[in-house]
Amino acid sequence: MKILIVEDDANILSFLSRGLVESNHTVTTAMDGEEGEYLALTNSYDVIILDWMLPHKNGIDLLQSIREKNIITPVLMLSAKGEIKDKIFGLKHGADDYLSKPFSFEELEARLESLYRRGLTQGNNSFTFGDLIIDIDKKSVIKDAQTVTLSLKEYELLLFLIKNKNAIVSNTMIEEQLWGDEEYKNSNVIQVTIYNLKKKIGKELIKNQRGLGYMLEIK
Domain boundaries 126-216, corresponding CATH code: 1.10.10.10
Task: Calculate what percentage of the chain has a pLDDT beyond 90.
Answer: 30
Contacts for 68 with CB less than 8 Å, ≥ 6 apart:
none
Task: Write the pLDDT tens digit of every residue in 152-194.
Answer: 889 889 888 888 888 888 888 888 777 765 555 456 888 899 9
Helix 10-22 × helix 105-121 angle, to 10°: 60
Alpha carbon separation from 135 to 30, 52, 121, 146 (Å, rounded): 32, 33, 10, 13
CA angle (69 as vertex; 12, 32 as ends), nearest 5:
25
pTM above the 0.85 mark? no
Q: Which long-range contacts (CB under 8 A, 24 or more apart) does 169-177 make?
A: 169/213, 169/214, 169/215, 169/216, 170/212, 170/213, 171/213, 173/44, 173/213, 174/213, 174/214, 176/2, 176/26, 176/43, 177/2, 177/26, 177/44
Q: Are 28 and 4 in contact (CB under 8 A)?
A: yes
Residue 26 has a pLDDT of 87
Q: What are phi and psi of 67, to 5 degrees?
A: -65, -35
Architecture per CATH, 2-121: 3-Layer(aba) Sandwich (3.40)
Query: How many residues make up the chain in this entry?
Result: 219
pLDDT for 137 beyond 70: no
Q: Please give the pLDDT value at position 165.
A: 80
Domain ranges of the chain: 2-121, 126-216
| Structure confidence by residue, pLDDT tens digits, 95-131 | 889 888 888 999 999 999 888 877 665 545 567 777 8
